Amino acid sequence: MHNNLLKIDLDMRLAVNPNLVLRIEDDDCALLFDPDNGRVEILNCTAVEIWQQLDGKRSLHEVIGRLEEIYDGFDEDATRQVLALVNSLAGLGAVGVWEQT
């Protein structure tokens, strides 16, 4: 996985950092814990859905297509929000570009 200052685009196949722990608290949120530095991020249900789909096999465009199937009214603004979330997660080292070795 590679995440140094990513410029995220919809064709990228992203994967989550396997060292992080996702703990679903309830229907509204989950905790994303980094055991290396003790950092905790709170994710809403949509962010959890995105997180669970970032497996390196699907492009971000495919992930967004899945979200369009799940959520009514998913529009261009929602796509921008997904990109902002993924960029934020990449900045934290929580996701990166999948590179098979």
| 85 is a domain residue | yes
Q: What is the pLDDT of residues 12-37, one digit of tens each?
A: 999 999 999 999 998 789 999 999 99
* Neighbour count for residue 51 (Cβ, 10 Å): 21
What is the residue range of 43's domain?
Answer: 13-97
The structure's pTM equals 0.84
Residue 45 to residue 8: CA distance in whole angstroms: 22
Over 60: is that where the pLDDT of 79 sits? Answer: yes
Burial 90-100 (b: 16+ CB within 10 A, else e): bebbbbbbbee
Q: What is the pLDDT of residue 74?
A: 86
| 5 is a domain residue | no
DSSP string of 34-79? ETTTTEEEEEEHHHHHHHHH-EEEEEHHHHHHHHHHHSTT--HHHH
Over 90: is that where the pLDDT of 97 sits? Answer: no
* CATH code, 61: 3.90.930.60
Q: How is residue 68 written in tokens?
A: 């369009």
Number of domains observed in the structure of the chain: 1
The residue-averaged pLDDT of 40-51 equals: 93
| 7 is a domain residue | no
- What is the amino acid identity at position 4? N
H/E stretch holding 95 reads: strand 95-97
